[in-house]
Structure 1
């Protein structure tokens, strides 16, 4: 099959970006200049075809690039198309393929960032060049943003641009980025393409128990380790109720109708588990969650410490943050203190809109039996930062993959990979979305 220049360049640029080690450790002392080198590569490729760019580097090594292509409808809000250029760390010995080699083996492209998210960065770079070369004028302004620091919270990338250069995003009303767009089995011969229309909030609480230090040979009734353990166990074992968000209800309706299943709150976990890997994602998005992640107490076995601490990761559903805090306070009890950490609020966009319709049309043009299905992302993306400017964020990186290929499971994994055929599909579908949205 003859491939277009758009398709060829998409794969080429994804590989070029993977070969740049842009690991973001979150520690300024161990972060190199990979993000800036990746941003400069993107900038050079855009300017080759006459697209004006703006490069920003708030601190050395944390570079981002923003560019705009004018649309034909001056009254339409701009669409922000964004991808982050940083990746999470790797343990090289866990990989069977070099994490920054961008090797293609048996039709799979391996490398850190293959799905998170240098795949989309390479694809939208190729699409922007295709539009510029061909004189294609999209309906609305397209703002392409290639960003630093998403993996550590976006302080030097999306958040910095929102706070310091909002002019680069002028007129943006909607955004498209991760995490969604990948296909999952719907029924035999048909695929659903998940569209993230909402994201849980991200926060945490530090739980502290205090007492009096003493020799472990004389156990104390106010032992802070015991009181902390009790509070953490109550929090970690608590099962929050199902919350019927618009995204969850639409997902359950579509999958229920197609599979002949009547989903119920009481049996939802087991019913979702029957859907395979996609069900586990939806299960995590169906309710609030609190997960104890860090425990700290004494450092000597024969000393009862004066204090003990635990950190609990909190994920709130849209409009449910206060409810989550109240429940954690109740579960923790009076024997511990709570310190709420800084959080990113949940976000939600309409599950029905002209933009969502345009995404569905583009997918059906490439996969006539495909259907776009909203869902709520239980994690977080840079869309949360852009929401502070009133931009409605959607997660949709089009990828048609084999039914047994778990795209979500590739995130942050060893031997992260993506089918090359899926990148070709992504290039065609993304071009359709951006041209007509």
Structure 2
């Protein structure tokens, strides 16, 4: 059989419009899922397509390892993508076009690149030591109700024996400068991610005429609560992942690291320069007001007013955060969860992390591999419920100055073809050696 190029595979996946508009509205993942299942079948891997609803498709397969005594590893990626407005793009977003050394299209880095790398690894004649469970899931770009969270709830048996999982947002090269001017290639591997809590605040008061004084105005109560929340300065709280990132990155760059106080941590992050930007969102919790809804007529004071707040919470800090948040609400204001997915924390020092670092250094001997915490969220929040240690490891080699973090969900999303091939070599090595 002819050698399979990961770039062609990724281009094929990009050409399937799997747009997820949110709220259950989506183009659907079915055609992409059929492509994946058929491809795996060509290489002797039997795959199942599972759908909670028509066209919302997930693919799950298991590749037996040579040593059945070892715990299994889950390798999971999502097939859906966020919307793309074609008029804003330099190329049609679902063209899968190769231009100037890059593969362009929605999903090129989020995350059809990783899905293609997994398929390319299988096509190379992959012989893993341990069982590999492959999951290509739906609905990650919304709530996961048709994808990972549904699979965990309804088909947990498919992941039996999985002790760890890998997926998006880690293992890519990040070019930074050391204190002596040396160029250093960091490869951050995600060993944690902040939890997501979307809250609805409801302020209740006394309805009345807009021309009359009203000390129980629901809107005023709500605005006061939002102001207190927005102005609250959350303290620095160092999780094991963030502490390890600061210490190891500082050592690699020759930068003094002082973690003795919140101010000292802020100063350390600033001294790390561009490397510090990786950790800025994850030294603190965050509470960001994002939506407001109140009133129905300008001369009527309503009895209720609502708002939504995006809360991101570090591992081990949930109870404290919500206790403080409740104290900021004030009279007549209550909260409820719109969505709640707890934080993820995997071991920083583990054989899994060591194997990832080893695979990266085998392709790039100068790689500096460090743990980091993701500020947002992934489907790891679903699979961690099954007791897995979940890591972000989707390796890529990126050229210096490439705006990788602006690619996901951005205009003109693209991935370097050489970096994609590099990632495939690293991933294949990891899957065979871990």
TM interval, short-chain normalised? over 0.9
Distance 1:379 1:12, change over 3 A: same
SS of residue paired to 1:426: helix
Shift in Å, 1:269? 4.1
The reply to whether residue 52 of structure 1 matches residue 46 of structure 2 is yes
Which of 396, 401, 410 pairs up with 2:398?
401
Q: Aligned partners of 1:389, 1:371: CA distance in 2, in Å? A: 31
Q: Aligned partners of 1:281, 1:239: CA distance in 2, in Å? A: 20
| Aligned residue number for residue 3 of structure 2 | 5
Q: Aligned partners of 1:284, 1:22: CA distance in 2, in Å? A: 30
Q: Aligned partners of 2:267, 2:95: CA distance in 1, in Å? A: 40
Q: Is the 8 A contact 2:252 2:368 kept in 1?
A: no
The reply to whether residue 126 of structure 1 matches residue 116 of structure 2 is no
Distance 1:278 1:226, change over 3 A: farther
The reply to whether residue 141 of structure 1 matches residue 125 of structure 2 is no
Q: Is the 8 A contact 1:79 1:141 kept in 2?
A: yes
Q: Is the 8 A contact 1:228 1:308 kept in 2?
A: yes
Could you tell me which runs of 5 or more consecutive residues in structure 1 were left unpaired when the two chains were aligned.
none
Q: Is the 8 A contact 2:23 2:142 kept in 1?
A: no
Distance 1:280 1:218, change over 3 A: farther
* Mean CA deviation greater in 297-306 or 75-84: 297-306
Shift in Å, 1:270? 5.6
Which of 316, 322, 333 pairs up with 2:319?
322
Give per-residue Cα distances to partners, 1:144-173, cap 9 Å, x unaligned: 111111111211111122122222212111
Aligned pairs for 1:196-215 (under 5 A) are: 196-215=190-209
Shift in Å, 1:63? 0.8
Q: Aligned partners of 1:209, 1:167: CA distance in 2, in Å? A: 44
Count how many residue pairs are aligned between Structure 1 and Structure 2: 426
The reply to whether residue 173 of structure 1 matches residue 171 of structure 2 is no
Shift in Å, 1:271? 4.7
Q: Aligned partners of 1:206, 1:157: CA distance in 2, in Å? A: 25
TM-align CA RMSD: 1.7
Q: Is the 8 A contact 1:77 1:141 kept in 2?
A: yes
Which of 228, 233, 245 pairs up with 1:234?
228
| Aligned residue number for residue 32 of structure 1 | 27
Shift in Å, 1:125? 0.9
Q: Aligned partners of 1:226, 1:280: CA distance in 2, in Å? A: 36
SS of residue paired to 1:291: strand
* Mean CA deviation greater in 61-70 or 77-86: 61-70
| Aligned residue number for residue 303 of structure 1 | 300
Q: Aligned partners of 2:122, 2:273: CA distance in 1, in Å? A: 36
The reply to whether residue 374 of structure 1 matches residue 371 of structure 2 is yes
Shift in Å, 1:342? 3.8
Aligned pairs for 1:356-367 (under 5 A) are: 356-367=353-364
Which of 10, 13, 24 pairs up with 1:14?
10
Shift in Å, 1:395? 0.3
| Aligned residue number for residue 150 of structure 2 | 160
Shift in Å, 1:246? 1.0
Q: Aligned partners of 1:48, 1:374: CA distance in 2, in Å? A: 36
Q: Is the 8 A contact 1:186 1:258 kept in 2?
A: no
Q: Aligned partners of 1:257, 1:278: CA distance in 2, in Å? A: 12
Shift in Å, 1:277? 5.4
Could you tell me which runs of 5 or more consecutive residues in structure 2 were left unpaired when the two chains were aligned.
none
Higher strand share: 2
Which of 77, 81, 86 pairs up with 2:75?
81
Give per-residue Cα distances to partners, 1:74-97, cap 9 Å, x unaligned: 111111111100011122222222
Instruction: Normalising by structure 1, report the TM-score.
Output: 0.93
Shift in Å, 1:352? 0.8
| Aligned residue number for residue 117 of structure 1 | 111
| Aligned residue number for residue 70 of structure 1 | 64
Shift in Å, 1:262? 2.5
Q: Aligned partners of 2:204, 2:52: CA distance in 1, in Å? A: 41
Q: Aligned partners of 2:357, 2:22: CA distance in 1, in Å? A: 37
Q: Is the 8 A contact 2:187 2:368 kept in 1?
A: yes
Q: Aligned partners of 2:366, 2:189: CA distance in 1, in Å? A: 16
* Mean CA deviation greater in 359-368 or 219-228: 219-228
Instruction: Normalising by structure 2, report the TM-score.
Output: 0.94
| Aligned residue number for residue 91 of structure 1 | 85
| Aligned residue number for residue 411 of structure 2 | 414
Distance 1:270 1:55, change over 3 A: same
Give per-residue Cα distances to partners, 1:2-61, cap 9 Å, x unaligned: xx935x2x1111111111110111233x4233x011000001111112211111112101
Shift in Å, 1:216? 2.1
Q: Aligned partners of 1:186, 1:254: CA distance in 2, in Å? A: 14
